[in-house]
Amino acid sequence: MPKANYNQVISEIKTLNLSDLLRLLEEMATLIRKKMGKTKTRSILELKGKGKDIWKGLNVKNYIDEERSSWNG
């Protein structure tokens, strides 16, 4: 949308009364939700294996014991 059209729309919005502003807001939220719904859904499973190199060679029991002992100060 060219800037002139955008500014014109904003000017017209400013003239609306409260009930029309609320109605416009609801309609805009619906439009945005519909557009967002068209994006690809992601899965937590995509993270599988990420950062596994960080944990290589680490003694898991010692790590957990150290973490737990730090919880109590």
Average pLDDT, the chain: 90
Q: Give pTM, 2 decimals.
A: 0.46
Tell me which residue of 4, 22, 29 sits closest to 13, measured CA to CA. Answer: 22
Domain boundaries, the chain: 3-37
pLDDT tens per residue across span 14-43: 999 999 999 999 999 999 988 887 777 789
* d(C-alpha 22, C-alpha 30), whole Å: 12
Query: Does the pLDDT at position 1 exceed 70?
Result: no
Q: Checking phi first, is residue 30 left (phi over 0); if not, alpha (psi -120 to 50) or beta? A: alpha
Average pLDDT over residues 52-63: 90
